[in-house]
């Protein structure tokens, strides 16, 4: 298949590479020439704009950081909407259901079908092709892009309505964020009381408190103090805020998630939005006067 790929960051570069390794012809674009060059060295074809990508492929995939960036790439000047060949725009980003519907409507006017396809599984999942791929869109169009999506992970088709994939991604991410936030507060409390953090994780993971943070993220990035999970705290905060906006329109109470948002906001304010997601523990440690690190 001829596939366009826009956005070659921590996630996108691995996904584009996997498509190349699977034998697809891949046309790539990123605002960073270095990122384009890295993929071109592996056999990708370099493009100079999203429109040029959309001139070269019927399927254009995008992995981008924020809803506004996705909107501009999809519908702005020199965007995918101006492409001569594109027929399907596969959005692997996290934008929220409202933005997904907006982009869907604008592209539909140009006979381009937007397919929601946000992913979860982190950089490691993108590298290994084990992402959870949450897809919504017209059935025939989803079927047409499935061979490409299967290269990057396991596909979950959620329905045809625009935005369903986005809602599913936000539900997943706020649960991941809540696990990080709650585990940070619990671990800091235990350490301040005199418990060993590595032993705490062993006990938690043998019991009912285990979660994705205790099973993987704390051991990998917080105990050794590397803070390098590969996903920015600011991006997680963006996802949590998108969830809160969506639940408000649906009239769902979410007191717990609002508290999670406050902690991630504190991490971004004190450590910077580009800090790793694992930095969410730092404001808690600072106030408690202890650090959760392996001895």
| Residue 229 to residue 276: CA distance in whole angstroms | 6
Question: What per-residue confidence (pLDDT) applies to 111?
Answer: 97
**142, 165 Cβ separation under 8 angstroms:** no
Cβ contacts of 292 within 8 Å, gap of 6 or more: 184, 187, 188, 191, 197, 218, 222, 223, 281, 285
Question: What per-residue confidence (pLDDT) applies to 230?
Answer: 87
- Return the CA Rg of the chain: 20
Question: What per-residue confidence (pLDDT) applies to 16?
Answer: 98
What is the CATH topology of the domain spanning 2-159? Rossmann fold (3.40.50)
| Residue 83 to residue 112: CA distance in whole angstroms | 10
Selecting among 25, 128, 169, 192, the annotated active-site residue is: 169
What is the CATH topology of the domain spanning 167-288? 1.10.1040
Query: Which residues of the chain register pLDDT less than 70?
Result: none
| Residue 201 to residue 241: CA distance in whole angstroms | 29
Question: What per-residue confidence (pLDDT) applies to 222?
Answer: 98
Question: What per-residue confidence (pLDDT) applies to 59?
Answer: 98
The string of pLDDT tens digits covering residues 230-282 is: 899 999 999 999 999 999 989 999 999 999 999 999 999 999 999 999 999 99
169 labelled catalytic: yes
Strand pairing partners for 60? 4, 89
Domain ranges of the chain: 2-159, 167-288
| Residue 55 to residue 5: CA distance in whole angstroms | 12
């Amino acid at each position: 298949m001829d596939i366009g790929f826009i956005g070659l960051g921590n996630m996108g570069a691995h996904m584009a590479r996997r498509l190349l390794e699977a034998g697809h012809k891949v046309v790539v674009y990123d605002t960073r020439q270095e990122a384009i060059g890295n993929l071109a060295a592996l056999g990708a074809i370099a493009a100079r704009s999203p429109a040029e990508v959309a001139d070269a492929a019927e399927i254009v995939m995008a992995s981008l950081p924020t809803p506004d960036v996705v909107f501009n790439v999809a519908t702005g000047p020199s965007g995918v909407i101006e492409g001569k060949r594109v027929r399907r725009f596969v959005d692997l980003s996290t934008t929220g259901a409202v933005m997904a519907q907006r982009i869907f409507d604008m592209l539909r006017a140009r006979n381009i079908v937007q397919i929601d396809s946000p992913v979860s599984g982190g950089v490691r999942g993108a590298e290994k092709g084990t992402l959870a791929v949450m897809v919504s869109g017209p059935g025939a169009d989803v079927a047409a892009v499935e061979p490409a999506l299967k290269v990057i992970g396991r596909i979950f088709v959620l329905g045809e309505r625009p935005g369903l994939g986005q809602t599913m991604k936000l539900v997943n991410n706020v649960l991941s964020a809540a696990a990080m936030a709650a585990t940070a507060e619990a671990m800091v409390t235990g350490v301040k009381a005199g418990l060993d953090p590595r032993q705490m994780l062993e006990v938690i993971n043998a019991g009912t408190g285990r979660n994705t943070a205790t099973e993987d993220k704390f051991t990998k990035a917080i105990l050794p103090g590397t803070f390098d999970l590969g996903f920015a705290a600011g991006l997680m905060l963006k996802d949590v805020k998108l969830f809160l906006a969506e639940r408000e329109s649906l009239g769902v109470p979410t007191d717990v998630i609002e508290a999670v948002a406050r902690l991630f906001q504190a991490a971004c304010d004190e450590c910077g939005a580009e800090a790793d997601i694992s930095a969410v523990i730092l404001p808690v440690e600072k106030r408690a006067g202890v650090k959760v690190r392996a001895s």
